[in-house]
Amino acid sequence: MNIVALDGYAANPGDLSWDELKTLGQCTIYERTAPEQVTSRAQEADIVLTNKVVIGADHMAQLPQLKYIGVMATGYNIVDIDAARQRGIVVTNIPAYSTDSVAQMVFAHILNIAQRVQHYTDEVRAGRWTQSPDFCFWDTPLIELHGKRLGIVGLGHTGYATARIALGFGMEVCAYTSKSAFQLPPEIKKVGLDELFSTADIVSLNCPLTPETQGLVNAARLATMKSTAILINTGRGPLVVEQDLADALNAGTLFAAGVDVLTDEPPRADNPLLTARNCFITPHIAWASTAARQRLMQIALDNIRAFQAGKPVNNVAR
């Protein structure tokens, strides 16, 4: 089979190997592919792999040989699933490969905001401690997590992993989830969305992006939060109305935010969160630990093998 990876650099910038993939067929690996290059590069492909390159109905109509699209991520909104289903094209994703890494990033942001380690490291290097008249100094609030309430929006794999870490810190955990209260362990309280936002000290967004969740965090929702609260978004950028969040941070009606995702990636230079007060941004790297990417690559290979054996798994176009 002819296999084409359209944006291989995203999952494998060179520290992993494509050798195992090359045993499954004739392979062409492109580091990046522009939208106008998709059709020509995939013209002879039986199997196309993509991380963020969009494959729509128009592309599929021009790719008669295409039988399989492997999305190298959990979210698969970059593929027109209805068009694939109509054409009998199998579309697979990579579920749950980055659960622990994303939950770790949630707490990296929480701990950064609570302890401001980089800030104090920079201040020490600038000589402030050596010039201090006291044995220590601090100029930001230092927040103890024990006893604080963490509200998790979306209790899937990552939400559960985040909850387990929070419980280890002695935090109280509540969640907005489609699961019934009987499905939750007793240490996680099921609550409504309004109660979660109004009572949580920290809110973590771990839900998928859907028409219902787009713009979930807006001016009205932010106005219900404590002025001392922290918002963490490692889900999807459009869950948050970015201007509304920036306004709340700048006005001091929300204490801080830690985000790993933005609506446009890379962001526009005028994105209001880039200059917002107490807004800490990482460049969509929660998923990208070496261990998580190794799992991603292995699951992608397993998906292709299952497809070649006539028994597709993780098929989201059934």
Amino acid at 302: D
Superfamily of domain 2-96+290-308: NAD(P)-binding Rossmann-like Domain (3.40.50.720)
Domain range annotation of the chain: 2-96+290-308, 99-281
Q: Among this protein's residues, is 87 annotated catalytic?
A: no
Q: Write the pLDDT tens digit of every residue in 9-46.
A: 999 999 999 999 999 999 999 999 999 999 999 999 99
From 41, 164, 284, 305, the catalytic residue: 284
- Are 249 and 256 spatial neighbours (Cβ–Cβ below 8 Å)? yes
265 classed as catalytic: yes
Same fold, 2-96+290-308 and 99-281: yes
The active-site residue out of 116, 149, 221, 236 is 236
Active site residue 157: no
pLDDT tens, residue by residue, 233-268 = 999 999 999 999 999 999 999 999 999 999 999 999
10 Å CB burial of residue 215 (0-12, 13-18, 19+) is: middle
Give the closest residue to 47 by CA, choosing from 12, 92, 78. Answer: 92
- Which residues, in sequence order, are bridge partners of residue 257? 231, 279
Nearest to 193 by CA among 211, 178, 208: 178
CA distance 177 to 27: 42
Alpha helices by DSSP H, listed for the chain, are 19-22, 38-41, 57-61, 81-86, 99-115, 117-125, 157-168, 193-199, 219-222, 242-251, 290-308
Count of helix runs (H) and strand runs (E) in the chain: 11, 12
Catalytic residue from among 31, 44, 187, 265: 265
Q: What is the pLDDT along the chain (318 residues), one digit of tens a residue?
A: 999 999 999 999 999 999 999 999 999 999 999 999 999 999 999 999 999 999 999 999 999 999 999 999 998 999 999 999 999 999 999 999 999 999 999 999 999 999 999 999 999 999 999 999 999 999 999 999 999 999 999 999 999 999 999 999 999 999 999 999 999 999 999 999 999 999 999 999 999 999 999 999 999 999 999 999 999 999 999 999 999 999 999 999 999 999 999 999 999 999 999 999 999 999 999 999 999 999 999 999 999 999 999 999 999 999
Cβ–Cβ under 8 Å, residues 203 and 229: yes
The model carries a pTM of 0.94
Q: Which CATH architecture has domain 99-281?
A: 3-Layer(aba) Sandwich (3.40)
